[in-house]
């Protein structure tokens, strides 16, 4: 048994180009230097440090895939996934802010916005405007298309009325991709996506939720009371919102997989290090086979998640059909994150149950992975249909 337990290479280098390795390492260093010192305070206060957000923009991390002509980085989806993973290894709240901005909001605009909308909004998203994705409602979660928010065309504007719930980045966002029904008689084919600016008349951000985990990431209610949205702010086409929602969330699930990968990595690294430092019965607990087996099992599952996340992201960049892989990735990554973070607490023993040590936060942050952007049961339903030949 070596004196110290070596940490495995955090990514299989054979899957990364030199540019990707450099990008990843720079993100990792930034997360260690700038985010980690703020994590505990942000979690306790449930507020994300605005100075950090400004640095995210300055580094180009809020517009990784946005083309350079709009002020973005002109990068690929895979790079956004690397950023989410590395940030989440230190703080899942930081990871999800970058995740929603890149995999949901920017991705939806790149694919569905017209030229005028891209010129108006992509430069803002790349430089200073946080985006949010507003689909869920109090009575519309897994049944995403049961939403009750209504949109009625009056002259040159749509008038929106309703409430949205569980909206990530709600407190900070200046632009919302918001879904509403223009014709309830058409069911899901009446759903339309709108680009709603925070200062539009009739729009307000309501209650901020007090959450178990990812506490620094804001999760808010949105209130629309005769909210006036210019008809040129329809994203895609009227009645095509369901298609935008489905396709965008498929991409977002890879992002959640990356977030959970980062959470599991962070907890594992803490547990492996602590096992070498904690002594019982005259020796480090890392020398006991029971602890070694736990650490080995954790490392194996993390590696499996990493390969699934990277594979799904590569498939997306290659223009391949990745729906099944995205669902599997989110499902498995969230399961592994919960298991690994729970075991990390047990390796710490009583210390792990206190807020003086970091692993309890990783465990709290892991729980959301099974819930948002499609619950685990919804992922299983998707996977079952696809592997059994359904649609």
d(CA 391, CA 388) in angstroms, rounded, equals 9
Residue 7 covered by a domain: no
Same domain membership, residue 100 and residue 21? yes
Same domain membership, residue 250 and residue 125? no
The size of the chain, in residues, is 391
Q: What is the pLDDT of residues 121-171, one digit of tens each?
A: 999 999 999 999 999 999 888 887 889 999 999 999 999 999 999 999 999
Does 13 have pLDDT greater than 70?
no
Domain ends where: 130, 149, 177? 130
CATH number at residue 69: 1.10.540.10
Same domain membership, residue 142 and residue 105? no
In the chain the first and final C-alpha atoms are separated, in Å, by 51
CATH number at residue 199: 2.40.110.10
Same domain membership, residue 378 and residue 250? yes
Residue 5 covered by a domain: no
Strands 131-134 and 175-181, sheet pairing:
parallel
Same domain membership, residue 141 and residue 90? no
Given the residues 65, 221, 269, 373, select the one marked as catalytic.
373
Q: What is the pLDDT of residues 167-207, one digit of tens each?
A: 999 999 999 999 999 999 999 999 999 999 999 999 999 99
d(CA 305, CA 258) in angstroms, rounded, equals 9
Same domain membership, residue 247 and residue 173? no
Distance of CA 203 to the CA centre of its chain: 25
Same domain membership, residue 374 and residue 256? yes
Q: What is the pLDDT of residues 55-70, one digit of tens each?
A: 999 999 999 999 999 9
Does 297 have pLDDT greater than 60?
yes
d(CA 134, CA 223) in angstroms, rounded, equals 11
Q: What is the pLDDT of residues 204-254, one digit of tens each?
A: 999 999 999 999 999 999 999 999 999 999 999 999 999 999 999 999 999
Same domain membership, residue 92 and residue 168? no
Same domain membership, residue 50 and residue 170? no
Residue 4 covered by a domain: no
CATH number at residue 355: 1.20.140.10
Residue 163 covered by a domain: yes
Residue 306 covered by a domain: yes
Which residues are CB-neighbours of 352 under 8 A, at least 6 positions away?
A: 344, 345, 346, 359, 360
User: Would you call 287 a catalytic residue per the annotation?
Assistant: no
Are the C-beta atoms of 352 and 344 separated by less than 8 Å? yes
The H or E element spanning position 377 is helix 376-387
Does 4 have pLDDT greater than 80?
no
Per-residue DSSP letter, 289: H
Structural domain containing residue 109: 13-130
Same domain membership, residue 145 and residue 89? no
Phi-psi region of 74 (alpha: psi -120 to 50; beta: other; left: phi over 0): left
Structure tokens at 3: 């004196």
Q: To the nearest whole number, what is the mean pLDDT of the chain?
A: 95
């Amino acid at each position: 048994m070596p004196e110290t337990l070596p940490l495995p290479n955090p990514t299989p280098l054979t899957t990364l180009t030199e540019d990707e390795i450099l990008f990843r390492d720079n993100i990792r260093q930034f997360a260690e230097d700038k985010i980690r010192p703020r994590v505990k305070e942000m979690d306790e206060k449930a507020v994300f440090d605005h100075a950090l957000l400004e640095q995210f923009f300055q580094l180009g991390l809020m517009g990784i895939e946005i083309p350079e002509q709009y002020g973005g980085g002109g990068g690929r989806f895979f790079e956004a996934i690397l950023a989410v993973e590395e940030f989440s290894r230190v703080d899942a709240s930081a990871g999800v802010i970058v995740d929603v901005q890149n995999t949901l909001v920017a991705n939806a605009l790149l694919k569905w916005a017209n030229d005028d909308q891209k010129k108006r909004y992509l430069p803002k998203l790349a430089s200073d405007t946080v985006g949010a994705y507003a689909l869920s409602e109090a009575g519309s979660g897994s049944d995403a298309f049961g939403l009750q928010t209504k949109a009625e065309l009056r002259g040159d504007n749509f008038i929106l009325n309703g409430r949205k719930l569980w909206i990530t980045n709600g407190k900070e966002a200046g632009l919302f991709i918001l879904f509403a029904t223009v014709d309830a008689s058409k069911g899901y084919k009446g759903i339309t996506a709108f680009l709603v600016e925070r200062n539009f008349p009739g729009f307000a951000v309501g209650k901020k939720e007090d959450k178990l985990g990812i506490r620094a990431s804001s999760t808010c209610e949105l209130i629309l009371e005769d909210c006036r949205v210019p008809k040129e702010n329809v994203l895609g086409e009227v009645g095509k919102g369901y298609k935008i929602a489905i396709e965008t969330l498929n991409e977002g699930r890879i992002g959640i997989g990356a977030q959970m990968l980062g959470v599991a990595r962070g907890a594992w690294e803490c547990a492996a290090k602590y096992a070498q430092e904690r002594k019982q019965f005259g020796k480090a607990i890392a020398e006991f086979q029971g602890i070694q087996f736990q650490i080995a099992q954790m490392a194996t599952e993390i590696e499996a998640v990493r390969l699934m996340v990277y594979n799904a992201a590569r498939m997306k960049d290659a223009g391949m059909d990745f729906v099944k892989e995205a669902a599997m990735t989110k499902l498995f990554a969230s399961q592994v994150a919960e298991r690994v973070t729970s075991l990390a607490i047990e390796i710490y023993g009583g210390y792990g149950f206190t807020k003086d040590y970091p692993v309890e936060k990783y465990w709290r942050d892991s729980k959301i992975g099974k819930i948002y952007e499609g619950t685990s049961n919804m992922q299983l339903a998707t996977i079952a249909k696809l592997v059994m030949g359904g649609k």
